[in-house]
Amino acid sequence: MAPIATDVQLILFDIDGTLMLPKGAGRASTKLAMLEIFKTAGGIDDHHFGGKTDWQTLLDLMQVEGFSSDDIQRLMPDYEAVVARHLSAIIPDYPIETCPGALDVVHEVRRREGLIPGIVTGNVSSTAPIKLRAAGFDPDWFVVGAYGSEAADRNHLPHLAVSRAEKLSGRRIPPEQVVVIGDTPADIACARALGGVAVAVSTGYTPREELAAAQPDYFLDDLTQFFGQVML
Ligand SMILES: [Mg+2]
């Protein structure tokens, strides 16, 4: 597919599997926080996180333990504080990896006038900056963000990020001028929910065939291919 012909205004990056690999630190801190807040971690050891919001993960694992969705919503601020404390404490012990090309792409997006870098992630808002920092990104490089503590359904998050970017920039940002980059079918689905351009990178844990079957607009091995294949 040819590079995007229209002016792109906003690029929304997923974190895990797209910018960096937390190498188990996410699961471990989630487990510790669940044990502290809910007194159980349910089936977390076998839980499939890929593309899910943390809110959805709590619904998946804690509703079967007897917590209602209202309980989970009410406990979210406590959960956010506790999981951030655990992640900060343990993340130095994990071999965090930065995905190939990720730092260069973010730097180039920041350098280009009229282009806004943002985050759309399933991580709660308190852990996203911890993961970014551990992988060498300054969270402040990303002008807007939408997080897995703001909606259980990832499909709601790109809209949130776009409206924040519009407010900050004072410009209207049509969906077709938004690029959503992620490593799972859920990232592609949330790009579609917005009407944006879906870019898949094969740097996470999703099997290539599964990612291709979700039919992204662009399918990259990694972010080193972003400038050249998606944007010139
Ligand atoms: Mg991901």
Distance (angstroms) between ligand 1 centre and the Cα of 14 equals 5
Contact present, 214 and 200 (Cβ < 8 Å): yes
Q: Please enumerate in sequence order all residues whose Cβ is within 8 A of that of 212, keeping only pairs 6 or more positions apart, or say none.
A: 200, 219
In CATH terms, are 10-22+97-230 and 25-93 the same topology? no
Distance (angstroms) between ligand 1 centre and the Cα of 178 equals 18
pLDDT in tens, 46-75: 999 999 999 999 999 999 999 999 999 999
Q: In the chain, how many H helices and how many E strands? A: 8, 8
What is the domain partition of the chain in residue ranges?
10-22+97-230, 25-93
Architecture of domain 10-22+97-230: 3-Layer(aba) Sandwich (3.40)
Q: What is the pLDDT along the chain (232 residues), one digit of tens a residue?
A: 899 988 999 999 999 999 999 999 999 999 999 999 999 999 999 999 999 999 999 999 999 999 999 999 999 999 999 999 999 999 999 999 999 999 999 999 999 999 999 999 999 999 999 999 999 999 999 999 999 999 999 999 999 999 999 999 999 999 999 999 999 999 999 999 999 999 999 999 999 999 999 999 999 999 999 999 999 9
Distance (angstroms) between ligand 1 centre and the Cα of 69 equals 24
Domain 25-93 CATH class label:
mainly alpha
Short-list 83, 93, 149, 140, CA closest to 117: 140
Distance (angstroms) between ligand 1 centre and the Cα of 204 equals 7
Distance (angstroms) between ligand 1 centre and the Cα of 32 equals 21
